[in-house]
């Protein structure tokens, strides 16, 4: 199914079942809180906004690719969502009544020329490797009631926030921001694969989980000297660990705060850091001093 508007595309309900839908317009909006599009796969394109901060576009789809302009991208998914490649082909009917196969429209990734806010409740959010990258030229928020699997890059021109019950960052699931980075697992662990990175260009980075946190690379460096770097905070309701068998730097920061309900690292797998000030607190598992860190009695970074 394909819906094209030269101006505003206002939606009430498009129900394609498990079929694919492509919708485009100058803006794509709705005026209620009911589901607007039901589809197996959905491709959205707008030169302006798709939904808005006060009224998201309500979806019940399997896979989504969307590109919006400076007014932002605001989808709200009701049953779990995969960001990935979407191909939609529709037949073209001539005046003679004869139908011919049309050219498929193919689109990947999620892009916004402004803010990008995706909410998934209930369900999981998965960013597919190679085809599910997320890019926002403003604030970026990815929020899921279930698990969030970042297998593709998340990029924000401002602050970036990921919030889910549990979060897994694959080796290609880097988070890059020109501001702060906030990653929260509200009901489980944060797992960063070896090679996964969060890079803030001097902004602060915070990782917090009710469960364990395995650390890849948290990079709060700026172009200036170490004192201009951001602070990094890692708070775990269980243990903070490094990936086994790797010896690369895990944290670049000016200040580093580590708190774990059980332990921080181990005797054989310590965190490798390059920080000026370190504050650490752990439970029965103890604190294994990170390598290349200078201890200080200064207040913990926030």
> Distance (Å, rounded) from C-alpha 199 to C-alpha 193?
15
> Distance (Å, rounded) from C-alpha 39 to C-alpha 46?
18
Specify whether the CB–CB gap between 206 and 180 falls below 8 A. yes
Percent of the chain's residues with pLDDT above 90: 84
Calculate mean pLDDT across residues 32-41: 95
Residues 90-102: pLDDT tens digits?
877 777 777 777 7
Specify whether the CB–CB gap between 227 and 202 falls below 8 A. no
CA dihedral 245, 242, 263, 161 (to 10 degrees): -160
Q: What is the pLDDT of residue 263?
A: 96
Q: What is the pLDDT of residue 293?
A: 54
Q: What is the pLDDT of residue 204?
A: 98
Calculate mean pLDDT across residues 117-141: 98
Percent of the chain's residues with pLDDT above 70: 96
pLDDT winner (highest mean) among 90-94, 144-148, 271-275, 297-301: 144-148
Q: What is the pLDDT of residue 230?
A: 96
Q: What is the pLDDT of residue 170?
A: 97
- Does 66 score more than 50 pLDDT? yes
- Does 294 score more than 70 pLDDT? no
> Distance (Å, rounded) from C-alpha 71 to C-alpha 137?
10
Calculate mean pLDDT across residues 181-188: 98
How many residues are recorded in the chain?
302
215 - beta bridge partners?
242
Per-chain mean pLDDT for the chain: 93
CA geometry: angle at 142 spanning 40 and 106, to 5°? Answer: 40
> Distance (Å, rounded) from C-alpha 129 to C-alpha 9?
30
Q: What is the pLDDT of residue 32?
A: 87
Calculate mean pLDDT across residues 117-144: 98
Specify whether the CB–CB gap between 167 and 150 falls below 8 A. yes
- Does 298 score more than 90 pLDDT? no
Q: Phi/psi of residue 115, each to 5°?
A: -70, 150
Calculate mean pLDDT across residues 134-138: 98
| Lowest model confidence (mean pLDDT) among 2-11, 123-132, 141-150, 286-295 | 286-295
Confidence of residue 189 (pLDDT cuts 50, 70, 90): very high
> Distance (Å, rounded) from C-alpha 27 to C-alpha 113?
13
The 10 Å CB-count burial string (b at 16+, else e) for 21-37 is bbbbbebbbbeeeebbb
Q: What is the pLDDT of residue 292?
A: 63
Q: Which helix (H) or strand (E) holds 218?
A: strand 217-219
Sequence-distant (≥ 6) Cβ neighbours of residue 297 within 8 angstroms? none
Specify whether the CB–CB gap between 174 and 151 falls below 8 A. no
Q: What is the pLDDT of residue 297?
A: 39
Report the predicted TM-score, pTM, of the whole model to 2 decimal places: 0.93
Sequence-distant (≥ 6) Cβ neighbours of residue 70 within 8 angstroms? 48, 49, 113, 114, 137
> Distance (Å, rounded) from C-alpha 125 to C-alpha 296?
40
> Distance (Å, rounded) from C-alpha 93 to C-alpha 158?
45
């Amino acid at each position: 199914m394909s819906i094209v508007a030269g101006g505003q595309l206002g939606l009430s309900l498009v129900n394609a079942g498990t079929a694919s839908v492509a919708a485009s317009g100058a803006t794509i909006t709705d005026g209620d809180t009911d589901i607007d599009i039901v589809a197996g796969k959905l491709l959205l394109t707008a030169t302006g906004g798709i939904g808005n901060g006060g009224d998201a576009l309500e979806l019940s789809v399997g896979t989504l690719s969307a590109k919006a302009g400076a007014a932002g991208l605001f989808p709200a998914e009701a049953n779990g969502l995969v960001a990935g490649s979407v191909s939609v082909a529709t037949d073209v009917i001539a005046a003679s009544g004869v139908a011919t196969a049309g050219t498929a429209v193919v689109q990947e990734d999620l892009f916004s020329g402004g803010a990008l806010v995706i909410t998934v409740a209930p369900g999981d959010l998965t960013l597919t490797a190679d085809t599910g990258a997320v890019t926002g030229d403003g604030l970026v928020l990815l929020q899921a009631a279930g698990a969030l699997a970042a297998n593709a890059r998340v990029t924000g021109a401002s602050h970036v926030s990921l919030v889910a019950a549990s979060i897994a960052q694959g080796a290609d699931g880097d988070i890059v921001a020109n501001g702060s980075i906030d990653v929260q697992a509200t009901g489980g662990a944060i797992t960063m694969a070896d090679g996964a990175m969060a890079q803030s260009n001097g902004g602060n980075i915070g990782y917090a989980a009710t469960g364990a946190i395995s650390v890849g690379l948290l990079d709060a460096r700026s172009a200036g000297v170490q004192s201009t770097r951001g602070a990094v905070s890692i708070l775990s309701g269980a243990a903070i660990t490094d990936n086994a068998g790797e010896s690369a730097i895990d944290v670049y920061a000016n200040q580093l705060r580590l708190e774990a309900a059980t332990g921080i690292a181990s005797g054989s797998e310590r965190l490798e850091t390059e920080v000026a000030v370190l504050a650490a607190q752990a439970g029965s598992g103890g604190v294994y001093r990170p390598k290349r860190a200078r201890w200080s009695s200064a207040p913990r970074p926030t």
